[in-house]
Structure formats: structure tokens, C-alpha cells
């Protein structure tokens, strides 16, 4: 596969015939060697992909795209960006993919589910997840922190191939299958570089770069009643229920509850029909 458009967007792009996990492979390469900024691995056959909270992510070969990109966590003159701000790069990828999917399926409603799932729905239809994103921070041999951002997007899955009823694919939502791999990959990489570069140039200030406003604009979670199931890192396995009202400067979701606003850094979000 040529991928001419996609190869113009990043300095290194390798399309693998198959891979257990593009994130794991790229992270291992980052630890072993000083890769070019925005070096990217992709495959149409990921056999052991991981989602958030260590969920397994699989798809029939050839029907979905897994892509991972290494982003050096430094500003335009090489100064490190604070590690506590790097979670925004995962959301930058979510923004980039939401914008890309919007171009592919202009007749559908596309939104970013906090923190970084992409949802598509037809008018009057239920939300269906077409993409999930996972970011992890690793250290390169030169001591520089690198964020490996992985995205898995369902391209041409049929209804029978979907793993769960809440999943969807771009072609099911109306995307043109011919040329879809290079079209989606190229546009996503272009937008990822644009959003990530602006964020890093501002030394990780999501307000200054406009990233926080763009996340808010695209976020399908804001304004909706939600349930957040909290992981152990947030103090146990409890839950927060309320209405999602904001994304704070740290990238946390702010939920208005009966007892006041609660800001949550990580959790499994369920959009509810009613509280």
C-alpha cells in the first residue's frame, strides 16, 4: 500500500503487515533509540491491541487502522514540557481524529467522548464508538520524555463484524471505502501534528494553544448526565453521578453533582439518558 498522502505528514511512517500492538512496539523502539519526532507505526491487523483501563481491542484483519505516533515532550527550542500536562496530547489526538471522522461522515453527528473516544451517530440514532485512543509516556535513551499516542479506528467493519452493539465503523456511517486508509491516516496525522505542535510550542498551556477550547467544542460529554466509574488511582472503585459541565485546565472532567462540582482526572464514563 503506497500511503503517499500519509507519508507527507510525518518524517517516518512504517506500515506493518501485522502487529500485536503498535503502541507497545513503538514504545519499545523509543526506549531503545532516539526516533524522529512524530515517527509513526501503523497496521491494518493489530492482534493484541490495548484500550484504556487495559481493555483488549481487536478487529478482523483489514477492517480497522491502528496507528501510533511518538511525540517528544519538548517545546520549539527543546525545553521539556511538564509531565503533568502531557495528558493533553492524548486529547489532542482525540480532537484530530474527531475532526478527521467529521470530514469522512459529514451527514452524521461526530463527538469526542471524554477523554478520547470518538462517537458517531446518525440523526436520531444512538452513539456508536468508532475510535479509541491510548497515550503513554516513555523515556528515550537521551532522557527526553516521549508521548506515544495510539489510535484505533474502525474503518470498514460490517455490522456482523462489530465486537459490541455500541461499536460502529466509518463505512457504516457513510464513509467512502475506496482509498479510506490513506485518506483517514493522512488527515489524522496532519491534524495531530498541528494540534500537538501548537500545544508544545506553548509549553503545555492548553488555554494558550486553543486546545482546551477545541476539546470543549467537540466534547459530546459536556452538558450530558454521566456516571463516572473511578479507577483505583482516584481513590477506589466508587462512582460519580451528575452533569458534565466543563473540562478544567488540567484536562479533568468537571461534574456537577448534588453535593457540588467534582473534578475527575480519570474514569470510565457512561453517558446517561437521565440522572
Query: How far, in Å, CA of 94 to CA of 138, rounded?
Result: 20
The verdict on 186 and 261 lying in the same domain is no
184 with 264, same domain? no
Find the CATH number of the domain harbouring 254: 2.30.30
Domain count, the chain: 2
For residues 212 and 230, membership in a common domain is answered with: no
Looking at the structure, tell me whether residues 132 and 237 fall in a common domain: no
Nearest to 117 by CA among 168, 71, 41: 168
What lies within 8 Å, CB to CB, of 17 at 6+ separation is 43, 45
- Map the chain to HEC letters: CCCHHHHCCCCCEEEECCECCHHHHHHHHHHHCCCCCCCEEEECCECCEECHHHCEECCCCCCEEEEEEEEECECCCCCECCHHHCHHHHHHHHHHHHHHHHHHCCCCEEEEECCCEEEEECCCCCCEEEEEEEEEEEECCCCCEEEEEEEEEECCCCHHHCCCCCECCCCCCCCCCCCHHHHHHHHHHHHHHHHHHHHHHCCCCHHHHCHHHHHHHHECCCCCEEEEECCHHHCCCCEEEEEEEEECCCCCEEEEECCEEEEECCCEEEECCCC
**For residues 55-79, b (16+ Cβ closer than 10 Å) or e, as one string?**
eebebeeebbbbbbbbbbbbbeeee
Q: Which positions ≥6 away from 1 have C-beta within 8 Å?
A: 15, 181, 182
Looking at the fold, whether 62 and 150 belong to one and the same domain comes out as yes
Q: Are residues 259 and 180 in the same domain?
A: no
Q: What is the CATH number of the domain that holds 108?
A: 3.30.930.10
Residues 164, 194, single domain; the answer is yes
Are 206 and 83 members of one domain? yes
Interstrand relation of 13-16 and 40-43 (parallel, antiparallel or unpaired): parallel
Residue 222 half-sphere exposure toward CB, CA atoms < 13 A: 19
Indicate the pTM of the whole model. 0.94
Final residue of a structural domain among 218, 243, 263: 218
Pick out the chain residues at pLDDT < 50.
53, 234, 275
- Cα(233)–Cα(13) distance, integer angstroms: 35
Domain of 160 in residue numbering reads as 4-218
Judgement on whether residues 55 and 130 belong to the same structural domain of the protein = yes
- Report, in angstroms and rounded to the nearest whole number, the Rg of the chain calculated over CA atoms: 18
- Quick one: 213 and 233 in the same domain? no
Regarding whether 198 and 250 lie in a shared domain, the answer is: no
pLDDT per position as a tens digit, 175-213? 999 999 999 999 999 999 999 999 999 999 999 999 999
- Please check whether residues 210 and 230 belong to one and the same domain: no
- Cβ within 8 Å of residue 71, ≥6 positions away: 37, 38, 89, 146, 147, 148, 149, 196, 200
Amino acid at each position: 500500500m503506497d500511503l503517499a498522502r500519509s507519508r507527507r505528514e510525518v518524517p517516518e511512517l512504517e506500515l506493518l503487515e501485522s502487529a500485536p500492538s503498535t503502541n507497545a512496539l513503538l514504545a519499545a523502539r523509543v526506549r531503545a533509540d532516539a526516533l524522529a519526532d512524530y515517527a509513526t507505526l501503523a497496521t491494518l491487523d493489530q492482534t493484541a491491541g490495548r484500550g484504556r483501563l487495559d481493555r483488549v481491542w481487536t478487529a478482523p484483519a483489514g477492517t480497522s487502522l491502528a496507528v501510533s505516533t511518538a511525540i517528544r515532550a519538548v517545546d520549539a527550542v527543546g525545553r521539556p514540557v511538564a509531565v503533568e500536562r502531557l495528558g493533553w496530547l492524548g486529547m489532542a489526538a482525540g480532537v484530530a481524529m474527531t475532526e478527521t471522522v467529521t470530514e469522512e461522515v459529514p451527514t452524521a453527528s461526530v463527538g469526542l467522548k471524554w477523554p478520547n473516544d470518538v462517537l458517531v451517530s446518525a440523526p436520531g440514532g444512538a452513539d456508536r464508538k468508532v475510535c479509541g485512543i491510548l497515550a503513554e509516556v516513555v523515556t528515550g535513551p537521551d532522557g527526553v520524555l516521549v508521548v506515544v499516542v495510539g489510535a484505533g479506528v474502525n474503518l470498514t467493519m460490517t455490522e456482523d463484524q462489530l465486537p459490541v452493539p455500541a461499536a460502529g465503523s466509518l463505512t457504516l456511517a457513510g464513509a467512502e471505502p475506496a482509498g479510506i486508509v490513506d485518506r483517514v491516516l493522512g488527515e489524522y496525522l496532519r491534524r495531530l501534528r498541528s494540534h500537538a505542535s501548537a500545544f508544545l510550542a506553548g509549553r503545555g498551556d492548553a488555554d494558550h494553544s486553543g486546545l482546551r477550547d477545541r476539546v470543549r467544542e467537540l466534547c459530546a460529554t459536556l452538558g450530558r448526565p454521566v456516571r463516572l466509574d473511578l479507577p483505583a488511582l482516584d481513590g477506589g472503585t466508587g462512582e460519580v453521578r451528575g452533569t458534565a459541565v466543563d473540562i478544567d485546565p488540567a484536562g479533568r472532567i468537571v461534574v456537577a453533582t448534588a453535593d457540588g462540582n467534582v473534578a475527575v482526572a480519570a474514569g470510565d464514563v457512561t453517558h446517561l439518558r437521565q440522572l
